[in-house]
Amino acid sequence: MTPPASGLYVHVPFCLRKCAYCDFYSEVPSARPDAERDYAELLGRELASLPELFDPETVYLGGGTPSALSLPVLQALLKSILSRTPHAEEITCEVNPGTLTKEKAKVLRDAGVNRVSLGAQSFDDRTLAFLGRIHRAEEIGDACRMLHHQGIDNLSLDLIYGLPPSISHGPEDDLERLIELAPDHISCYALTYEPGTPLHRDLEDERFRPLDDETCRNQYDAIRARLKAAGYIHYELSNFARPGRECRHNLIYWTGGDYIGVGPAAHSYWQGRRYGYPREWTAWHGRVECGGWNPVAEEELDEMAPAPAELKCQKSRADPGRDAPAELKCQKSRADPGREWVVLGLRLLEGVSLSALRERTGLSLEDLYDGEVERLIGLGMLVLEGDRLRLTEEALFISNAVFSELI
Ligand code: SF4
């Protein structure tokens, strides 16, 4: 897998309704008059002021729910984004099946979107209701057909597993329904209960019992085996793809490439430094009004907001990792750049290239660690093969525990 040089991430901070498990930053647009119009205008200012050198090969519109934007705003937004990214080859838009129409599918295609990430999550209406999703199961297939009809064939579908036993018997039925739709890319995330979300409150109130870790691990292993049998390559902890259909944009994150994020709560890694915006509309608005693309250096942002999801030490939706074995304990919350490189690269099943680490940072494993890597190898969590350090099969499900040792 050869990652592209750089990518643009656009955070669209609106959802028609918050899902019960979600702690991503987004607002319900009706709560703020003229929110969409203000957003599009400010985003235009950000795009116009990006560094001249920045010439991304990938674009990713995420959020939030980009497909929840009204048709004219979506059209205008895509136009301004894609006129700033003339050399982008992979242009992904996240779509909620409950918000897609034939007209929006056509707008995506006409603008140049060539990859869609569809938040399917489950094919069971009861589970979708438990998760607080706005869509019904039958709308997932409808959305795939609308996109295919427009010639957008590179589809990625998200699935959530690890649901409470009172809600689901396991992911098998969902997997079969998903495989029938034959997407090129599949992301599977274990349900996590993030503090502050309605699902977390219901859990605290003992309204349901969560799935035990052993069963959740068995579900993860079953998903891996079924998708492998269906011809998918497991290339990242939570991600599976047909050969050549790995998400090029996300590969930038995992291989230490440059990316610039625009929109509230978006993060950037540009020329060796990390930046971000707070998870808050007014702060983003104020900074962009003052200076276009004007994020806060990460050191300052640490005082204002949590670390970006890809650097979190704790469990996140994007990670199947669960509880740590007793001998693995979180030691650090903020990484130095070399350690960050290692931890992000370990998310890939092929592991992290040590020669690339040396080339990019001038550092070796010996410079970065004081026996931690050897200890994890001894525990059967890591394996060193030639130029690559990778997680063992045993460690995939408890990856966050391993990462907390290495960050
Ligand atoms: S999971 Fe997606 S659609 Fe649901 S609230 Fe979060 S960002 Fe919006």
Question: Are residues 223 and 359 located together in one domain of the fold?
Answer: no
| Residue 222 near residue 187, CB atoms below 8 Å | no
Residue 15 lies in a domain: yes
Query: Any idea what DSSP says for residue 134?
Result: S
Domain termination residue (choose one: 253, 273, 308): 253
Residue 311 lies in a domain: no
Structure-block tokens of residue 88: 């982008």
pLDDT at 78: 97
Residue 263 lies in a domain: no
Distance in Å, CA 390 to ligand 1 centroid: 31
The answer to whether the CB of 99 is under 6 A from ligand 1 is: no
Residue 160 lies in a domain: yes
Q: Ligand 1, residues 11, 16, 26, 189: which to mutate, most atoms within 8 A of Cβ?
A: 26
List Cα–Cα distances, 4 to 10, 12, 87, 127, 143, in angstroms. Answer: 17, 23, 11, 37, 29
Question: Taking the chain (407 residues) in consecutive chunks of 10 residues, what is each chunk's mean pLDDT?
Answer: 80 96 88 86 97 97 95 96 97 97 98 98 98 98 98 98 97 98 98 96 97 97 98 98 97 94 96 92 94 90 55 37 35 66 96 92 92 96 97 96 94
What CATH number is associated with residue 346? 1.10.10.920
pLDDT at 321: 39
Question: Are residues 234 and 347 located together in one domain of the fold?
Answer: no
Residue 126 lies in a domain: yes
Residue 134 lies in a domain: yes
Three-state SS string over 138-169 comes to HHHHHHHHHHHHCCCCEEEEEEEECCCCCCCC
What total of structural domains would you count in the chain? 2
The answer to whether the CB of 117 is under 6 A from ligand 1 is: no
**Mutual orientation of helices 71-84 and 35-48 as an angle, nearest 10°?**
10
Give me the domain span that covers residue 147.
6-253
Question: Are residues 239 and 343 located together in one domain of the fold?
Answer: no
Q: What region, left, alpha or beta, does residue 31 occupy, with left being phi > 0 and alpha being psi -120 to 50 degrees?
A: alpha
Phi, psi at 284, each rounded to 5° = -65, -50
Question: Are residues 26 and 168 located together in one domain of the fold?
Answer: yes
Question: Are residues 356 and 231 located together in one domain of the fold?
Answer: no
Question: Are residues 10 and 134 located together in one domain of the fold?
Answer: yes
Domain termination residue (choose one: 229, 253, 277): 253
The answer to whether the CB of 22 is under 6 A from ligand 1 is: yes
Question: Are residues 36 and 179 located together in one domain of the fold?
Answer: yes
In ligand 1, the atom with minimum distance to the C-alpha of 18 is: 5
In ligand 1, the atom with minimum distance to the C-alpha of 68 is: 3
